[in-house]
Amino acid sequence: MSRAAVPGLPSPHPIGELLPALFADDDFAQRFTAGLDTVLAPVFATLDNLPAYFQPRLAPADFLGWLASWVAVDIDPAWPEEVRRAVVERAVELHRWRGTRRGLTERLRLVLGAGAEITDGGGVSWSTVPGAAPPLPALSGEVLIRVWPLDGPGLDEDQVLSVVRAGCPVHLTCRVEILPGPPGRVED
């Protein structure tokens, strides 16, 4: 969809009808204002439908990138339009869970149609003695992300890595394994 001149789009407020009676029969004035109506008709159409521009499911496809920038979400132009719309629509929820197991699992499912199993080494330590220094845990600092397609063909490794990089906390090392199906499934 374009917000430029649309052939045959009528203006809801033709300027020629608003002119004084002296110009109502003036051919030049009517043709001149008809040209202005052609230019202004898309503006009126856009303004009349402005609320739809802020709803990701209804906004024009070329408007999604700008709308995504409003909610601080990165969308890849290579993603199908429905995926881009869904990511923009759920941006607040995805931001709320960013950097967590739930957030990464949901983003992989939403963007790539992939299931995920995420395992990390933990990192909690404490001491039962007041004032004592906490014991140092043996942390691996690595997160294992096992990904498989939920429907259809296999997954593109570059796309998986791109989504994981965007959702994995920067202080952790993320290792990705792409599987043909869910872990533990017996192949026939």
> Assign residue 106 a region: left if phi > 0, alpha if psi is -120 to 50, beta otherwise?
alpha
Q: What is the pLDDT of residues 47-93, one digit of tens each?
A: 888 888 889 999 988 889 999 999 999 888 888 999 999 999 999 99
Query: Domain coordinates of the chain in residue numbers?
Result: 23-52, 103-130+137-182
The string of DSSP letters for 70-125 reads HTT----TTS-HHHHHHHHHTHHHHHHTTTSHHHHHHHHHHHH-EEEEEEE-----
Whole-prediction pTM value? 0.67
- Residue 61 has φ and ψ, to the nearest 5°, of -60, -40
pLDDT of residue 1: 47
- Residue 134 has φ and ψ, to the nearest 5°, of -70, 145
- Weakest mean pLDDT among 48-52, 100-104, 119-123, 134-138: 134-138
Assigned CATH class of 103-130+137-182: alpha beta
